């Protein structure tokens, strides 16, 4: 459903919505309340460009297939996926990185204790509209953390699952939701590289961590295009539990 007071977008976005369920659409209810930030402006212009190109070149054909295997993954300085793996799922995650602080020591450094994020199926966007995918985390961070029932504002991406840390401190991805079961994986960090802007959490390459009784669906997972998530430099003036908002792309690779 589109509620828009911006007529130029109504037609364009409705066309895009009919193109594919994966097409990001604009829910103007979320953004009318204030003027657009630079990330939002970039995102909406890219949506507009994409639709304009589609309208010029296509006669409203059947939706294109969502083949994600060749989706371009910008991994920065991280090593490539291991040979024999194929890209199988892509999500935008939106949540918090959690830290604890020793409040008795102003020069203490926050310690990471976990992360919690809701993950949204971005596989089709990664395959079909990669230039839009890369603009989504900077917009997602400006919207409230989504509830499971919501899509990822301001698009209508579907829920894929959740990211959290296990009781034993293992980063875990459960890609199982009412929209389908795309598997699960516990991870360990294999490589990290600072985000292009170091005020965002580093980009990571992760591989499977063995967890008793859990069969991992994926061999390698990348955290890329991060926004936010960095703790304060010291615990001065902090509470004992700190949550820092973040958004990121996660790319899931599995054996052929
Ligand atoms: C959801 O993910 C699956 C697996 O990657 C993919 O085949 C499907 O097209 C995705 N759906 C959307 C709407 O992106
Ligand atoms: C306070 O934290 C700093 C930085 O971690 C550490 O070097 C120092 O020993 C700590 N002081 C106390 C009293 O724990
Ligand atoms: C982190 O923050 C979330 C959101 O408030 C919370 O549910 C979770 O228990 C926190 N702690 C850890 C260790 O993930």
| Segment 170-187 mean pLDDT | 96
Question: How does residue 61 score in pLDDT terms, banded at 50, 70 and 90?
Answer: very low
The structure's pTM equals 0.81
How far is ligand 2, taken at its centre, from the CA of residue 227, in Å?
Answer: 29
Ligand 2 pocket check: which of 108, 110, 231, 232 to mutate, most ligand atoms within 8 Å of Cβ?
108
Lowest mean pLDDT among 146-160, 166-180, 201-215: 146-160
The pLDDT of residue 143 is 87
| CA 88–ligand 1 middle distance (angstroms) | 9
Return the ligand number nearest the Cα of 183.
1
Does residue 9's CB lie within 6 angstroms of at least one atom of ligand 1? no
Q: What is the pLDDT of residue 240?
A: 96
88 Cβ contact list (under 8 Å, min separation 6): 68, 182, 218, 252, 253, 254
Q: Residue 29 has which token pair?
A: 């209810």
Q: Which of 25, 89, 250 to mutate to test the pocket of ligand 1 (most atoms within 8 A of CB)?
A: 89
Nearest CA to ligand 2 atom 11: 105
Q: For tokens 């699960």, what's the residue?
A: 184
Tell which wins on pLDDT, 167 or 156: 167
Residues 7-49: tens digit of each pLDDT: 333 333 333 333 344 444 444 444 444 567 888 878 877 776 7
Sorted by sequence, the CB contacts under 8 Å of residue 131 that are 6+ apart come out as 46, 50
Ligand approaching nearest to the C-alpha of 103? 2
In terms of C-beta density within 10 A (0-12 exposed, 13-18 middle, 19 or more buried), how is residue 83 classed? exposed
Diameter of the chain measured on Cα atoms? 66
The pLDDT of residue 147 is 78
What tokens does 159 get? 């829920």
**For the segment 117-158, what is each residue's pLDDT rounded down to a tens digit?**
999 999 999 998 898 999 999 999 998 888 776 677 667 778
pLDDT at residue 59 is higher than 80:
no
What b-and-e string marks burial along 197-212, b requiring 16 or more CB atoms within 10 Å of the CB?
eeebbbbbbbbbbebe
Residues in the chain, overall count: 256
What is residue 27's predicted lDDT score, i.e. its pLDDT? 47
Angle (CA) 73 76 81, round 5°: 55
- Which residues line the pocket of ligand 2, CB cutoff 6 A? 105, 107-109
% of the chain residues with pLDDT over 90? 64
pLDDT of residue 144: 86
Looking at residue 152, its pLDDT comes to 76
DSSP state of 29: G
pLDDT digits (tens, 9 = 90+) for 72-98: 999 999 999 999 999 999 999 999 999
Among 16, 24, 67, 68, the mutation site with the greatest number of ligand 1 atoms within 8 A of its Cβ is: 68
d(CA 106, CA 250): 34
Rounded Cα distance, 153 and 250, in Å: 17
* CA-based nearest residue to 222, from 250, 187, 200, 185: 250
Residue 25 has a pLDDT of: 47
Task: Identify the residue with better confidence: 58 or 245.
Answer: 245
Identify the pLDDT of residue 62. Answer: 46
Between the CA of 22 and the centroid of ligand 3 the distance, in Å, is 30
Comparison of pLDDT for 111 and 144, the residue scoring more: 111
**Of the ranges 3-12, 198-207, 229-238, 245-254, which one carries the lowest mean pLDDT score?**
3-12
240 CA from centroid of ligand 2 (Å):
15
């Amino acid at each position: 459903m589109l509620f828009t007071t911006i007529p130029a977008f109504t037609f364009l976005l409705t066309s895009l919505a009919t193109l594919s369920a994966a097409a990001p659409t604009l829910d103007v209810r979320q953004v009318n309340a204030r003027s657009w930030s630079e990330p939002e402006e970039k995102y909406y212009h890219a949506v507009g460009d994409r639709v304009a190109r589609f309208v010029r070149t296509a006669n409203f054909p059947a939706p294109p297939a969502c083949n994600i295997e060749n989706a371009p993954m910008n991994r920065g300085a991280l090593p490539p996926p291991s040979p024999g793996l194929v890209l199988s799922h892509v999500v935008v995650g939106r949540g918090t990185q959690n830290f604890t602080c020793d409040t008795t020591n102003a020069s203490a450094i926050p310690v990471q204790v976990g992360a919690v994020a809701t993950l949204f199926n971005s596989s089709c966007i990664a395959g079909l509209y990669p230039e839009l995918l890369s603009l989504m985390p900077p917009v997602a961070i400006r919207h409230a953390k989504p509830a499971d029932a919501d899509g990822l504002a301001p698009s209508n991406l579907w829920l894929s699952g959740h990211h959290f840390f296990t009781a034993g401190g293992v980063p875990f991805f459960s890609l199982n939701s009412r929209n389908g079961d795309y598997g699960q994986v516990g991870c360990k960090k294999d490589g990290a590289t600072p985000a292009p802007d170091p005020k965002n959490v580093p980009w990571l390459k992760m591989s499977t961590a063995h967890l008793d009784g859990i069969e991992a669906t994926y061999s390698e997972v990348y955290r890329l295009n991060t926004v936010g998530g960095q703790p304060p430099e010291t615990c001065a003036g902090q509470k004992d539990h700190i949550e820092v908002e973040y958004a990121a792309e996660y790319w899931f690779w599995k054996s052929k």
